[in-house]
Amino acid sequence: MDALPQTPGLGLARSAGALAGLRVIDLTRVLGGPYCTMVLSDHGAEVIKLEPPQGDEVRDWGPPFDADGTASYFLNINRNKKSVGLDLSKPEGKQVLLRLLEGADVLIENFKPGSMEKWGLGYHEVLSKKFPRLVHCRVSGFGATGPLGGFPGYDAVLQAMTGLMSINGTETSGPTRLGTPIVDIATGLFSTIAILMALQERERSGQGQYCDMTLHDCGMALLHPHAPNYFLNGKRPKATGNPHPNLVPYSKFRTKTCEIFVAAGNDPAFRKFCEFLGIPEVAKDERFATNGGRVTNREALTEVLEARFATEDGHDLCRRMLAAGLPAGPVLHVDEAMQADHTAHREMVTELGTYRGLGTPIKLSRTPGGTRGVPPRFAEHTEEVLGKNGFSAEELKALKASGVLVETRKK
């Protein structure tokens, strides 16, 4: 079990974590898989990141880069992990992996479906028999079977193919990619859930299992409420911009000082909203008295509210609305959100030495997680990890000489 950070910082782990004692072998790269293993490592799991000779390519996805030349993209999703450079294309590399799996609870990888099987490391044929308690999670674009089985997948491509782009943006802009890689992140989160479910079930059965996680399925799972709207009315959902397709007012408005977003979730909330704004007659107008009416008469209500908000200081108005129990907030830029007082209070910016990243949103009372170590340099922990797993100094020397263990990234 790793020691807690001794250097002062923010958003640091203050306990061994809810997953202390869990060992994860991480063969993933880019975002979905590494996001999953960061969540696990934030809460105490030992994550051994086995990087290919070229390293995880997102080490190069910059600028910006840190002083060591590592991109911000890598830094924010790989803290707390231990890096080993390993060439799995060599038979000896596969033997190293198998030895590491002897003490592991979870294997997660995002190779092209069929790769592990081709290497003689398939779950059903080999790993489940050799390591019956192992939970094997595969993250892929579309899965191994079906019309698109085995094809590669990237976040934006899946945003396009699952319909997410079609309901983002406006009628003028056309389908628009979400500004955050939502499919990759969601796949990482769903994969975390799948792994924890499998581990929970293992407590009863004593058996591991295979988690088949795809960007396609996880992207589809994000289509609420647009897919259920289509299921019910048969109409193709369209991009509405900021307004909600089922709820009004639930949108962005201009004020004297900034843009704000307000949300009235039901008819009583709308009446309270109008009372607060000093326009109670609006809630009594038959066009706006019910949510169905407000959706139908969206444009007319928007004109009324835009006129009401035009003279307000948006920041002050939102604070007063929140204090009155009315959901509202200023539209902040990323730098403003990072510097907000509540962000600091919730420790959603974590710092350890020169490292800064987004903190864990999972707040546990007895076993709080957080940052334990800075993101690793490539192959930084090779000797430490393998030494703890029974590899002798002579074996390490031979594996390095043969190129199975890689100490410097191959470009």
Q: Would you say 355 and 75 are in contact if contact means Cβ atoms under 8 Å apart? A: yes
203-244 pLDDT, tens digit each: 999 999 999 999 999 999 999 999 999 999 999 999 988 889
Q: Which residue is it, tokens 């962005």?
A: 252
* Residue 3 predicted with pLDDT over 90: no
What own/partner pairs with CB < 8 Å and gap ≥ 24 does 346-350 have? 347/10, 347/11, 348/11, 349/10, 349/11, 350/9, 350/10, 350/11, 350/12
CA atoms within 13 A on the CB side of 148: 14
Greatest pairwise CA separation for the chain in angstroms = 84
Q: What is the pLDDT of residue 72?
A: 97
Identify the burial level of 30 via C-beta atoms within 10 angstroms of its C-beta, where 0-12 means exposed, 13-18 middle and 19 or more buried.
Answer: buried
Which value, to the nearest 10 degrees, does the dihedral of the CA atoms of residues 288, 289, 290, 295 take?
0
Domain(s) labelled CATH 3.30.1540.10 in the chain stretch across 259-330
212 included as an active-site residue: no
| pLDDT average, residue stretch 335-364 | 96
Given 60, 105, 184, 285, the catalytic residue: 184
3-state secondary structure the chain: CCCCCCCCEECECCCCCCCCCCEEEEECCCCHHHHHHHHHHHCCCEEEEEECCCCCHHHHCCCCECCCCCEHHHHCCCCCCEEEEECCCCHHHHHHHHHHHCCCCEEEECCCCCHHHHCCCCHHHHHHHHCCCCEEEEEECCCCCCCCCCCCCCHHHHHHHCCCHHHCCCCCCCCCCCCCCHHHHHHHHHHHHHHHHHHHHHHHHCCCCEEEEEHHHHHHCCCCCHHHHHHHHCCCCCCCCCCCCCCCCEEEEECCCCEEEEECCCHHHHHHHHHHHCCHHHHHCCCCCCHHHHHHCHHHHHHHHHHHHCCCCHHHHHHHHHHCCCCEEECCCHHHHHCCHHHHHCCCEEEECCEEEECCCCCCCCCCCCECCCCCCCCCCHHHHHHHCCCCHHHHHHHHHCCCECCCCCC
| pLDDT average, residue stretch 249-272 | 95
Q: What is the pLDDT of residue 2?
A: 59
Q: What is the pLDDT of residue 347?
A: 96
Q: What is the pLDDT of residue 5?
A: 84
Main-chain dihedrals φ then ψ at residue 259, nearest 5 degrees: -85, 150
* Residue 290 predicted with pLDDT over 60: yes
Domain(s) labelled CATH 3.40.50.10540 in the chain stretch across 9-222+348-401
Q: What is the pLDDT of residue 257?
A: 97
Which value, to the nearest 10 degrees, does the dihedral of the CA atoms of residues 290, 293, 299, 302 take?
-10
* Residue 266 predicted with pLDDT over 80: yes
CATH classification of 259-330, choosing from 3.30.390.30, 3.30.1540.10, 3.30.1490.440, 3.40.50.720?
3.30.1540.10
CATH superfamily of 9-222+348-401: Crotonobetainyl-coa:carnitine coa-transferase; domain 1 (3.40.50.10540)
191-206 pLDDT, tens digit each: 999 999 999 999 999 9
The mean of the pLDDT values for the chain is: 96
Q: Percent of the chain, pLDDT > 70?
A: 99
* Residue 1 predicted with pLDDT over 60: no
43-81 pLDDT, tens digit each: 999 999 999 999 999 999 999 999 999 999 999 999 999
133-170 pLDDT, tens digit each: 999 999 999 999 999 999 999 999 999 999 999 999 99
CA 370 to chain centre: 15
* Residue 265 predicted with pLDDT over 90: no
Name the β-bridge partners of 23.
Answer: 46
Q: Would you say 253 and 185 are in contact if contact means Cβ atoms under 8 Å apart? A: no
Separation between Cα atoms, residue 226 and residue 323, nearest integer Å: 32
